[in-house]
Amino acid sequence: MTPFAWLLGLLLPACGAIGAQGLPVPPIMDMTTIARPTSPNTALAGPADFKPTPDLVTPIYPLSAERLYASVRAMAEAEPLVFLAAAYDEQRQVHYVVRSATLNFPDLVTVQVAATGPESSTLLLYSRSVYGYSDLGANRGRLQAWLATLDQRLGSNSGR
């Protein structure tokens, strides 16, 4: 942790923590009831017909839900400054805390995979800031990068 993050932690306690510490363990989330704030500090990636309307559209992946879930987890957990906060494997939902490099700001990312058939599935990603009104596009940029990395790992272009 940088000295700036330590000082910031005096005002914003979660900035003074390491990894997923300093934040409550997230419970399983009903992704169909996401109520996004009016502040511009969230990003949502999901199927085109998902409500609320996603910022980024994800395709139907030609993979079983179990395989897509494992691939997304492996990809996310290989990213720097990404820490597992909670995993609900039976529901194929996982929560991460992602920290900024300099000030250690925590963002929350929830991943949900759903089967659409025996060998097809969808992906929903919801990234949001813990602190601040605006994120200067960090959450959207993160989801774009994660989706591009996932496509590269899966060896596909998935139509985006």
Enumerate the domain spans of the chain.
3-24+39-154
Residues 6+ apart with CB under 8 A from 15: 5, 8, 9, 22, 103, 104, 105, 106, 131
Could you identify the residue written with the tokens 């923590």? 17
Would you identify the CATH topology of the domain 3-24+39-154?
Alpha-D-Glucose-1,6-Bisphosphate; Chain A, domain 4 (3.30.530)
pTM for this predicted structure: 0.92
| Helix 138-154, helix 65-78: angle, nearest 10 | 120
Helix (H, G, I), strand (E, B) or coil at 40: coil
CA distances in angstroms from 73 to 66, 104, 108, 130, 159, listed in the order given: 11, 22, 15, 22, 21
C-alpha to C-alpha distance for 38 and 40, rounded to whole angstroms:
6
Q: What are 24-52's pLDDT values in tens digits?
A: 999 999 999 999 999 999 999 999 999 99
List the structure tokens of 87.
Answer: 């995993």
Q: What are 91-113's pLDDT values in tens digits?
A: 999 999 999 988 888 999 999 99
Q: What are 58-78's pLDDT values in tens digits?
A: 999 999 999 999 999 999 999
What was the pLDDT predicted at 59?
96
List the structure tokens of 106.
Answer: 């925590």
Would you place residue 156 in the very low, low, confident or very high pLDDT band (cuts 50, 70, 90)? low
